[in-house]
Structure 1
Amino acid sequence: MKKPDLAAGGIAPEAAALLDVYQEPAVLLDLDYRILVTNVAYRRIFGDTPATGHRRCFQVSHGYDVPCDQAGEECPLRATVASGQVTRVMHVHHTPHGEEHVDVETRPVAGADGSLRYILEIMRHTRLASAQPSADRMVGRSPPFLRMLDLMHRAAPSEAAVLLLGETGTGKEMVAQAIHEASARADGPFVPVECAGLTESLFESELFGHEKGAFTGALSLKTGLVESARGGTLFLDEVGDIPMSMQVKLLRLLETGRFRRVGSTASLEADFRLICATHRDLKAQVAAGEFRLDLYFRISVFPIPLPALRERRDDLPLLVQALLSRLRSARGKQLTPAAFAALQGMDFPGNIRELRNILERASLVADGDEIDAPDLALDLAFQPATDECPPNGEVVPLAELEQRYLARVAADFPGDREALARRLGISERTLYRKLQRIHGDRADR
């Protein structure tokens, strides 16, 4: 059958059938972002309405009036046009189920003369995280979070060893669990091993198991965690804390795929996918002779940096909603604007774990349905002083403190009022009313 010429005389009817070879939603776009053809998978999820009248992809997927790159996001279509190559970008799309994370892949399609004429866009929804408040999944939609999610989505289907790099409290075990659940080993066990604090003998026994009578106190055979992870994922948390002497045995396990229980001469076959995590600088440890270079290369085939909470402050409203829904003591409670403004000023050295602790403590202190700034007093006491805080010993009404803070952020914030309201976790109308009150108060002075 002659392949239809998409470049001659418009779009051939057979073009839609060509798109149906893809199981995922797929559309054909022209270079002006217009949706020309959709496949069956796309119409099953979104219906045929988006294609009517050749609407543009950024209008349908994001509700934007301008292309993604003009709205502060990466535009895969523009990248493919510029490079002539396949491009993949993690986006947040509007869907019938609300906003969802979508791995967007764009491919160039040439016309009859060989020049770039169309763009094929394939959309793969990911369940690794949620763009809305969730009780059991990671949540986020900020650019740093999407970059991490993109790497997770690429790593999950493979067997490559993943190394998660991030500060304490950034959710490394949750990321590891999500990668496992999106992998081909999802039906197998997920076995976490906390490496910090384990002595050499205890580490070997925990990892490889031991035979009955292998040492004093070994009253029965013990199955090690490597064996328990058969068919699944072995997660070594704080791998930088493994003693040097045990690093040799771990390296041998990874190189040979075999191990022996303590006290045994029989060699057993291992079958697991490895994910490691650390808050340490492993390269610096290698340079200092504290971590083996060959082991570092074995465990860091696919490194994934996890952003600190201070790097993804745009996610704070979403994280607060998700965490409040998970905390039994916080069910039905909400933060006041003043409390949220106070949270925005925190540095969160403990990251998401610290945020969770703050919200749980404040929800226990708050008597009503609202968590207000005074309920965060204990946490605020440990934060560095800012220009908005009164001098030591001075007590000012909370309303005045809120006005000082709003006046500063309104003057310094680079975006518009709608974006500022979103960052503060309040409606644009509420922000407008509060700013009007500030201006009115100043005019009366």
Structure 2
Amino acid sequence: MNTTVNATEEGAAPAPAALLDAWLESLPEPHILFDRSYRIVAANGAYRQQYGQGGSVLGRTCHAVSHHSAVPCDQAGESCPLARSLVSGQRERVLHLHHTRSGREYVQIELTPLRAGAGEPLYFLERMEPLRIAQGAGTDAPAMLGRAPAFRAALELIARVAPSQASVLLLGESGTGKELAARAVHEASTRAARPLVAVDCASLPESLFESELFGHEKGAFTGAHAARAGLVEAAHGGTLFLDEVGDIPLTMQVKLLRLLESGTYRRVGQSELRRADIRLVAATHRDLGAMVRAGQFRQDLYYRLSTFPITLPALRERAPDIPLLAESLLQRVAPGRRLTLAPAALRCLAQHPFPGNVRELRNVLERAALLTDGDTITAATVARALTFDQGGLQPAATGQTPAPAPAAPDLRSLQDAALRSALQTPGRTRRELAAALGISPRTLYRKLRSMQKQ
């Protein structure tokens, strides 16, 4: 590696190039050294392999190499660690979406300012660590996927809290991916090699909750023919994920609080205390604060769970991610088929509010795939798939009255909306438009005449 660090500012000592080369090359993660103008003056082999694409990176700006951008990160919608460091005067950590040899990937950036004495920093050392739990491009593997600002804000919080031992409370509507986020917290933690044990609190009856969570001894109750370890014991050394924690019975909440406060528990029918080495991640779609005020949830348990709350955005808050999510979901719901969504079909999806969030999007795409014989899913097919839920939603038996879902339009309204959306695409003949919508040219002419009379 040819290092071209020369101290050109008054008072700065020349950097020992050979020593710097050797040190950078000894680091396994991609590292670069750049100046206040973002110009790369040194880079190790890991960085060149991941970002160099066979060419030299020295003398180029970090944003040009890592982001393929002509302007710094803070002018392109991301947080610039150099700009932040100049303000704070200290080390900064951010989450960026980089162009790598494998495509666009999320990368954790740690930038350290380097000073010559007590003056302003002349150079900045940047370490890059891929965030394996999330993807910035389509994938057929289950992973957190998206680029929208609301998604990235939640992802940055996950990346920041995951290496710690802090309890995490995942909040958000049903279908926003809380279980996937819990897995992301676990896999980015120091406990990743140990078990992640999920507990569906909503499905456990109160009579069995304690024995399922803590285990029981033989003869502890009718039917306990043998001693059995509980889910807390199964999660020892790893992560315990309490899904729908708002459904935990009040009688059990105090015992869960004791576990979290003291790290100890007892099996049902046993007096001996056992120790649990677990990291807790909880999730709920309920308003726990309102439940505390209503006396339905213990305040002390609430504060113990919510050490680090993270709200996952609803799909309507990250609508630009719909094409990316749809591409990935289609690979999972229709494996072996190379299905694509027509542009008008994507616009039809973007106009839907998706009260069921990503889970609802998956259902719609699976229906659309089953209704499609060819390789392209049309807007008319998406409109038809969206009508399957019309009138099928009933209030959940949770003791709460859910907010009313937006009224679902009828099939004709959805088809007309898809047609109007398709008409906005310039340069298409009527025959091409009919093919994109999955209808015959004659049917298209009839619909156009009908719309003109409205």
TM-score class normalised by the smaller sequence = 0.7 to 0.9
Selected match of 2:374 from 368, 391, 409: 368
Correspondence 1:227 to 2:233: yes
Deviation at 1:322, TM superposition (A): 0.5
Deviation at 1:127, TM superposition (A): 0.3
Contact 1:50 1:60 in 2 (8 A): no
Selected match of 1:61 from 46, 58, 66: 66
Contact 1:128 1:149 in 2 (8 A): no
* Cross-structure match for 2:270: 264
* Cross-structure match for 2:347: 341
* Cross-structure match for 2:86: 81
Contact 2:331 2:337 in 1 (8 A): yes
Partners of 2:224 and 2:104 in 1: how far apart?
Answer: 54
Q: Aligned AA for 1:141? A: R
Partners of 2:317 and 2:331 in 1: how far apart?
Answer: 23
More moved, 231-240 vs 33-42: 33-42
Compared with structure 1, are the counterparts of its residues 109 and 103 closer, same or farther at alpha carbon in structure 2 (3 Å cutoff)?
Answer: same
Selected match of 2:427 from 391, 408, 433: 433
**What secondary structure is seen at the aligned counterpart in 1 of 2:239?**
strand
More moved, 7-16 vs 261-270: 7-16
5 Å matches for 1:390-429? 399-403=419-423, 406=424
Partners of 1:394 and 1:229 in 2: how far apart?
Answer: 48
Partners of 2:286 and 2:194 in 1: how far apart?
Answer: 29
Compared with structure 1, are the counterparts of its residues 283 and 399 closer, same or farther at alpha carbon in structure 2 (3 Å cutoff)?
Answer: closer
* Cross-structure match for 1:441: none
Q: Aligned AA for 2:427? A: R
Deviation at 1:226, TM superposition (A): 0.9
Partners of 1:251 and 1:262 in 2: how far apart?
Answer: 16
Deviations 1:386-430 (A, max 9, x none): 9xx999789859644522xx3xxxxxxxxxxxxxxxxxxxxxxxx
5 Å matches for 1:30-429? 30-47=35-52, 49-52=55-58, 54-112=59-117, 114-136=119-141, 137-328=143-334, 331-381=337-387, 382=390, 399-403=419-423, 406=424
Partners of 2:225 and 2:327 in 1: how far apart?
Answer: 49
Deviation at 1:262, TM superposition (A): 1.3
Compared with structure 1, are the counterparts of its residues 344 and 180 closer, same or farther at alpha carbon in structure 2 (3 Å cutoff)?
Answer: same
Deviation at 1:19, TM superposition (A): 4.0
Partners of 1:235 and 1:397 in 2: how far apart?
Answer: 42
**What secondary structure is seen at the aligned counterpart in 2 of 1:59?**
helix
Deviation at 1:324, TM superposition (A): 0.4
Compared with structure 1, are the counterparts of its residues 267 and 390 closer, same or farther at alpha carbon in structure 2 (3 Å cutoff)?
Answer: closer
Deviation at 1:332, TM superposition (A): 1.7
Partners of 2:83 and 2:116 in 1: how far apart?
Answer: 18
Deviation at 1:85, TM superposition (A): 2.2
Compared with structure 1, are the counterparts of its residues 324 and 112 closer, same or farther at alpha carbon in structure 2 (3 Å cutoff)?
Answer: same
* Cross-structure match for 1:428: none
Deviation at 1:286, TM superposition (A): 2.0
* Cross-structure match for 2:442: none
Deviation at 1:330, TM superposition (A): 7.6
Deviation at 1:113, TM superposition (A): 5.7
Deviations 1:249-297 (A, max 9, x none): 0011112212111122222221222111111122222222222222122
Deviation at 1:45, TM superposition (A): 3.4
Partners of 2:309 and 2:406 in 1: how far apart?
Answer: 33
Q: Aligned AA for 1:172? A: K
Correspondence 1:28 to 2:33: yes
* Cross-structure match for 1:418: none
TM-score, with structure 1 as normaliser: 0.83
Q: Aligned AA for 1:144? A: A
Partners of 1:95 and 1:160 in 2: how far apart?
Answer: 31
Deviations 1:78-106 (A, max 9, x none): 11122222221111111112211111122
Contact 2:244 2:285 in 1 (8 A): yes
Compared with structure 1, are the counterparts of its residues 231 and 332 closer, same or farther at alpha carbon in structure 2 (3 Å cutoff)?
Answer: same
Compared with structure 1, are the counterparts of its residues 85 and 33 closer, same or farther at alpha carbon in structure 2 (3 Å cutoff)?
Answer: same
Compared with structure 1, are the counterparts of its residues 396 and 276 closer, same or farther at alpha carbon in structure 2 (3 Å cutoff)?
Answer: closer
More moved, 89-98 vs 109-118: 109-118
Deviation at 1:209, TM superposition (A): 1.5
- C-alpha RMSD over aligned residues: 3.0
Partners of 1:219 and 1:78 in 2: how far apart?
Answer: 65
Deviation at 1:58, TM superposition (A): 1.0
Count of residue correspondences: 407
Partners of 1:401 and 1:86 in 2: how far apart?
Answer: 48
Partners of 2:411 and 2:361 in 1: how far apart?
Answer: 26
Partners of 2:420 and 2:172 in 1: how far apart?
Answer: 38
Contact 2:191 2:238 in 1 (8 A): yes
Deviation at 1:329, TM superposition (A): 6.3
Partners of 1:232 and 1:25 in 2: how far apart?
Answer: 29
Partners of 1:45 and 1:84 in 2: how far apart?
Answer: 29
Deviation at 1:316, TM superposition (A): 1.2
Identity fraction in percent: 51
Deviation at 1:385, TM superposition (A): 7.8
Q: Aligned AA for 1:433? A: G
Compared with structure 1, are the counterparts of its residues 390 and 377 closer, same or farther at alpha carbon in structure 2 (3 Å cutoff)?
Answer: closer
Compared with structure 1, are the counterparts of its residues 360 and 394 closer, same or farther at alpha carbon in structure 2 (3 Å cutoff)?
Answer: closer
More moved, 147-156 vs 243-252: 147-156
Deviation at 1:361, TM superposition (A): 1.0
Partners of 1:401 and 1:267 in 2: how far apart?
Answer: 65
Compared with structure 1, are the counterparts of its residues 113 and 205 closer, same or farther at alpha carbon in structure 2 (3 Å cutoff)?
Answer: closer
TM-score, with structure 2 as normaliser: 0.82
Q: Aligned AA for 2:357? A: N
